[in-house]
Amino acid sequence: MNTEAAASIAATLKNKDLLTLFDFSSDEIKYLLERAETMKTEQKQGKLSTALAGKSLGMIFENASTRTRVSFEVGMTQLGGHALFLSPRDLQIGRGESLRDTAKVLSRYVDAIMIRTNSHEKVEELAEYADIPIINALTDLYHPCQALADLLTVKEHKGTWDGLKACFIGDGNNVAHSWIIACTKLGMDASLAVPKGYEPDAEVWRKIEELALEMGTKVTCTNDPAEAAFKADVVYTDVWTSMGSEAEQDKRLNDFKGFQINEELMSHAADDYIFLHCLPAHRGEEVSAEVIDGSHSVIYDEAENRLHAQKAVLEAVIS
């Protein structure tokens, strides 16, 4: 991307909310990933930006996290800014204060808010009333920050996104949604394989199909994991029992039989496929140890790239 085009795109991103990648153009996503690549290289060289010196990020966590909290907090520090961890116990929303009042007050204190919660509607409401950028760090419908790190990892290991086939095998959840959206935005064909009853949200999938038609890519949803994995360049999965679904664990273990990412299933994929997992992983459930710890796995590069992708987002949206 040339300097003039990059400057133009950077201007469109200032003060922009990151709620879902549906709201970002392909060029905006590519810009963020180029900045993430540059930041990663510079960090390895010992060069750290001070772009966010004097800036603060409020981080609201209603769900536990390892990678999200550490990567955002370290990212703000590396950019010269400061991050505040805020649990419901630390905020009055834990005692019934409205999201509107919380958004209005925090907008007077910090320069952006990152929130990790269950309800996507809650994030949308926060964005409606806040005067600063809102960053969705996970909801029941979307996980856009994870998808950006995934795209960065694919580019590092495949050199391109164009013409690749990606698949997601497992639950049609928030990670699957954002991954398929991300693939479609950047020109990859994408297949999703789920057990019956675990299909993606109907409205989200409708929008994905419309997006694929617009982008000239192909998306499919099947109940056959071998079909989804056929000739796939990138294979992705997530835990079968996500946060909030623990009571369904026994049922899910039964329903997801045949959907484990293992060497037999991966015999259908491209010979040089890469394996992604957003972590935490349950070895022996959704993925075999042979695959996740094998030569095709790039999960630790993927986890590291949460830091670099989020730094690019923070730099882009905070004025």
Which residue is catalytic, options 183, 306, 308, 310? 306
Which residue is catalytic, options 35, 143, 277, 308? 143
Residue 67, token pair as written in the block:
């990678």
Instruction: Say whether 100 counts as a known binding-site residue.
Output: no
Instruction: Say whether 143 counts as a known binding-site residue.
Output: yes
Instruction: Say whether 92 counts as a known binding-site residue.
Output: yes
Which residue is catalytic, options 171, 189, 201, 238? 238
Is residue 278 among the annotated active site residues? Answer: yes
Which residue is catalytic, options 116, 120, 252, 308? 116
**Radius of gyration from C-alpha coordinates of the chain:** 19
Instruction: Say whether 233 counts as a known binding-site residue.
Output: no
Q: How many CB atoms lie within 10 A of CB 257?
A: 8
Q: Where are the beta strands (DSSP E) in the chain?
A: 56-61, 82-86, 112-116, 134-136, 165-169, 189-193, 219-222, 234-237, 274-277
Is residue 206 among the annotated active site residues? Answer: no
Q: Are 44 and 305 in contact (CB under 8 A)?
A: no
Which distant-in-sequence residues (6+ apart) come within 8 Å of 249 by Cβ?
Answer: 241
Cα separation, 131 vs 40, whole angstroms: 30
Instruction: Say whether 242 counts as a known binding-site residue.
Output: yes
Instruction: Say whether 89 counts as a known binding-site residue.
Output: no
Is residue 43 among the annotated active site residues? Answer: no
Q: Are 241 and 248 in contact (CB under 8 A)?
A: yes
Cα separation, 198 vs 254, whole angstroms: 13
Instruction: Say whether 116 counts as a known binding-site residue.
Output: yes
Which residue is catalytic, options 278, 296, 308, 310? 278
Q: What 8-state DSSP symbol labels residue 201?
A: P
Instruction: Say whether 278 counts as a known binding-site residue.
Output: yes
Instruction: Say whether 279 counts as a known binding-site residue.
Output: yes
Instruction: Say whether 66 counts as a known binding-site residue.
Output: yes
Instruction: Say whether 8 counts as a known binding-site residue.
Output: no
Q: Are 84 and 58 in contact (CB under 8 A)?
A: yes
CA distances from 101 to 19, 81, 91, 188, 198 (A): 20, 25, 11, 41, 36
Instruction: Say whether 162 counts as a known binding-site residue.
Output: no
Q: Are 85 and 73 in contact (CB under 8 A)?
A: yes
Is residue 143 among the annotated active site residues? Answer: yes
Which residue is catalytic, options 146, 189, 233, 310? 146
* Residue numbers belonging to the annotated binding site: 65-68, 92, 116, 143-146, 174, 238, 242-243, 278-279, 306
* Residue numbers belonging to the annotated binding site for L-ornithine: 174, 238, 242-243
* Residue numbers belonging to the annotated binding site for carbamoyl phosphate: 65-68, 92, 116, 143-146, 278-279, 306
**Catalytic residues, which ones?**
116, 143, 146, 238, 278, 306
